Amino acid sequence: MRSLLSICDIKYEIPEILELATKFKEGKINEKPLEDKTLAMIFQKSSTRTRVSFEVGMNELGGNAIFLSNNDIQMGRGEPIADTAKVLSRYVHGIMIRALEHEDVVEFSKESDVPIISGLTNLEHPCQALADMLTVKEYFKNFNGKFTYVGDGNNVCNSLLLICACIGMNIAVASPEGYEPDKDIIKKANKIAKENNSYVVITNDVEVAVKNASVVYTDVWVSMGDEKEQGKRKKALKKYQVNQKLMELANQDAIFMHCLPAIRGEEVSGEVIDGPQSAVIDQAENRLHAQKAVLYYFLK
């Protein structure tokens, strides 16, 4: 029984999972491998893509998904994680959780008898990173280019650092001081990248990071849970907007990526996210195909 809480949990299996996702996308797997299986989906935060892609993914694989808003289940009223995990394990075959605190998902996985799949925590967003790499693979056919992340060194950035390191794609992250990615994640990414002969650059210099990039990626400046810091964050990250001028420093065939939801005029200009280099809708579509691969891999 395995869980997917971090990209490190699938360190050596990413190419295989991406291959599977491509097969699902191309309609090459038509069986219903998850017939009679049920996924519980606990959401402590809002979601459009994660919720819908997991639910549709389960249906397309022949199974069922149950949406559990934190406000509606007893855990939201203080029922212990351990009791919730043990009880749900008797009903369902897997549990997807979008949680406020990463530690809660770790505790959940320790107490559960069925696989736990993270649908985002404050530390990581592994399913997003898988869909993102599927998108990069589709656009470039390889991972030889430079992946650049600009802005807040948040959960999405942390998973991207790890996934790039695991597949040996060079990655540069440009964030303002105080908004760099998690220190332990940087350490892990550096170690893994070394094993795969790729590099990890963490800098405050956005121009250095974007120069010669194949992918320019950004995410919101105020993640769910950071709302109290809104003013401070917008000020600190102001110079880290991805706009046309910045995109011009990247390779000519560079793509723009964003996990969505996005705020036009903050982390990205409308011109870029709605422009010809933008891959964001393909990326969002790929959540479904990547999710199906993850569900197949962990629940079958």
Size of the site for ligand CP (CB under 6 A): 8
Asked if 155 interacts with ligand NVA (CB under 6 A), we say yes
Q: Could you tell me which residues are beta bridge partners of residue 65?
A: 39
What residues form the annotated binding site for carbamoyl phosphate? 47-50, 74, 98, 125-128, 259-260, 287
* Residue whose C-alpha is closest to residue 98's, from 163, 162, 46: 46
- Least distance (Å) from ligand CP to the CB of residue 221? 15
Number of CB atoms found within 10 A of residue 255's CB: 24
Instruction: State how beta strands 215-218 and 64-69 pair.
Output: unpaired
Quick note: the x/- pattern for ligand NVA over 252-271, rule CB under 6 A, is -------x------------
Between residue 99 and residue 128, which ones bind ligand CP under the rule CB under 6 A? 120, 128
The piece of 43-51, 236-244, 272-280, 288-296 that touches ligand CP (CB under 6 A) is 43-51
CB closer to ligand NVA, 223 vs 241: 223
Question: Can you tell me the distance from the alpha carbon of 12 to that of 15, in angstroms, rounded to the nearest whole number?
Answer: 8
Asked if 53 interacts with ligand NVA (CB under 6 A), we say no
Q: Which residues contact 27 (CB under 8 A, 6 or more apart)?
A: none
The residues assigned a catalytic role are: 98, 125, 128, 219, 259, 287
Asked if 47 interacts with ligand CP (CB under 6 A), we say yes
Residue 40: both structure tokens together = 């519980």
Asked if 219 interacts with ligand NVA (CB under 6 A), we say yes
Size of the site for ligand NVA (CB under 6 A): 9
Cα–Cα distances in angstroms (integers) from residue 232 to residues 101, 149, 178, 228, 235, in the given order: 22, 21, 11, 9, 5
